[in-house]
Amino acid sequence: MKIQVLGAAREVGGSCLSVETDSAKIALDYGSKLDETPKKFPKDFDAVIISHAHLDHTGNLLSLCKNNNPTIVGSDITREVTVDLLHDMVKIQQEKGNHEYDDSHAEKVRDCWWNRDSIALPGVRINLQPAGHVAGAKITSLEAENKKIVYTGDFCLHHTEILQGCRLEVLPKKPDLLITESTYGGKIRPPRHELLDQFLELMQTVMARRGNILIPTFAFHRSQEMAKRLDTAIERGILPRYNVYTISNLAHRINGYFNQEKQLFTKEVKMQKYPFNFRHVKHLYRTSQIESPAVVICTSGFGHAGASLRLLTDWASDKDNCVVLTSGYLPPDSPLKQAKEEGRFVTPESQEVISVNAEVRQIELSGHADQIELIKTITKLKPKRTVLVHGDLEQAEQLYEQVKNLTDVCIPTENEIIDL
Ligand SMILES: [Zn+2]
């Protein structure tokens, strides 16, 4: 069996692996990198397994489906959100004058999708298990030629308010190969409850001074999780009544998917009739509808564009305002990274320099495993060999040092082939 790392080698973005046996060829994820022309991956796969609906794991599916009828396998909610995000991607590309893809290619992805938790190909068995991370995310186990492979995709062991973490007990023990993400391979986070306390304390402080609070976030999952968190905190009297808004039509649509698929979530969420219809969080269509002071949850998650760039620009000068970054990872040169590290940022389109007096705080409410969770995963699964992908080299190397005595571990380069 040959495993080739086609993307996300020594970096985050563009995840894709090829697994080739004598009788079948399978892709694990088919992603693209933010703001980059997608790489051309091979297309001759018998099946393409999609771990979850983030574009760095799905963004290349338009090219896969343009002139082919591939078999794509993943969960229902992954399909719905992926197709929405691909339509969005087509729209953005067309606005830039690139007409390589149109909406029919995004719909083709839906037509080629098989919502399955297990499939069999000649000589290969594949099983998908919940990964934590985001709704519908899966860890793939693959058996072929008497070998077992586990591919984590993006995952976490910790539970959040709405989603259970991955349960290691249900994964195959002692796999011949574990392919794991290493996004935060070098990072140890404080316990989740401490981070949540920090977050709510910050909300209370800024609300007490009647400041505006910008929470840039992704439309899928993080937006619903954050809206649910604030809605629940206001309902329970932990936070005062305040204007809380989401501005993202996509996020609003995804609330509907989450209501329909509430069996994916925690017991508490499942018990509610429409858990993602909020009492204290209102959906707006545009920033001009905001009544200040307000908390606004909006895209883009990195402040590159959309409502989050607009509000970052509008609210930057007032020291009573606050920007909360809940992602650990910020791309270099993203306006949010500049705002946090340099107290100023350059607007992507007009190249205007905006100085930031508002408070900028990072509280990492991440859906990725940190170093402790990654070590625990390797300790419990006891893989013979381990491949670290989906992590910048520095992060992967720190994890490597921690696990090199537990497993035969490597950090492959792009296109490297692993013989099993
Ligand atoms: Zn992800």
Q: pLDDT band at residue 275, thresholds of 50, 70 and 90?
A: very high
- Specify whether 32 is located in the same domain as 181: yes
284 CA to centre of ligand 1 in angstroms: 26
Same domain? 213 vs 302: yes
Is the confidence at residue 328, as pLDDT, over 90? no
Q: Are residues 128 and 165 in the same domain?
A: yes
Q: What CATH number is attached to the domain comprising 395?
A: 3.60.15.10
Question: What pLDDT is recorded for position 97?
Answer: 94
- Answer with the one of 339, 362, 385 that is the final residue of a domain: 362
Mean pLDDT of the chain: 96
Q: From ligand 1's centre to the CA of 142, what distance in Å?
A: 20
pLDDT number for residue 237? 98
Same domain, 378 and 330: no
Same domain for 217 and 123, yes or no, is no
CA of 349 to the centre of ligand 1 (A): 27
Number of independent structural domains in the chain: 2
| Distance between Cα 389 and ligand 1 center (Å) | 13
CB-CB neighbours of 270 under 10 Å = 11
Is the same domain home to 138 and 155? yes
308 and 383 in a single domain? The answer is no
C-alpha of residue 54 to centroid of ligand 1, in Å: 5
Same structural domain for residues 52 and 149? yes
For ligand 1, the distance from its centroid to the CA atom of residue 153, given in whole angstroms, is 8
Do 166 and 68 belong to one domain?
yes
Q: How far is the CA of 59 from the centre of ligand 1 (A)?
A: 12
DSSP designation for 168: G
Expressed in angstroms and rounded, the spacing between residue 238 Cα and the centre of ligand 1 is 30
Q: What pLDDT does 333 receive? A: 83
Asked if the model's pLDDT at residue 4 lies above 80, the reply is yes
How far does the centroid of ligand 1 lie from the alpha carbon of residue 366, in Å? Answer: 10
Distance 154 CA to ligand 1 centre (A): 5
Token look-up 């930057």 returns: 316
Give the pLDDT score at 28: 98
Half-sphere exposure of 229 (CA within 13 A, CB side): 22
Here the CATH number for the domain that contains residue 226 is: 3.40.50.10890
Domain that holds residue 290: 192-362
- Note the pLDDT tens digit of each residue in 128-175: 999 999 999 999 999 999 999 999 999 999 999 999 999 999 999 999
Indicate whether this model's pTM tops 0.85. yes
pLDDT above 80: residue 72: yes
Q: What is the mean pLDDT of residues 24-52?
A: 92
Q: Are residues 314 and 226 in the same domain?
A: yes
The SS3 call for residue 344 is: strand
**Ligand 1 centroid from CA 78, angstroms:** 11
Shortest CA distance to 199 belongs to which of 354, 327, 56, 365?
Answer: 365
- The CB-based long-range contact list for 414-417 (8 Å cut-off, 24+ gap) reads 414/5, 414/6, 414/7, 414/9, 414/10, 415/4, 415/5, 415/6, 415/9, 416/4, 416/5, 416/9, 417/2, 417/3, 417/4
CA gyration radius for the chain? 21
Least confident of 22-36, 49-63, 399-413: 22-36
Which pairs count as long-range contacts for 106-112, CB under 8 Å and 24+ apart, including other chains? 106/62, 107/83, 108/65, 108/66, 109/61, 109/62, 109/65, 109/72, 109/79, 109/82, 109/83, 110/79, 110/83, 112/65, 112/69, 112/70, 112/71, 112/72
Instruction: Report how far ligand 1's centroid is from the alpha carbon of 183 (Å).
Output: 10
pLDDT over 80 at 38, yes or no:
no
Verify that 76 and 217 share a domain, yes or no.
no
Residues 244 and 352 grouped into a single domain? yes
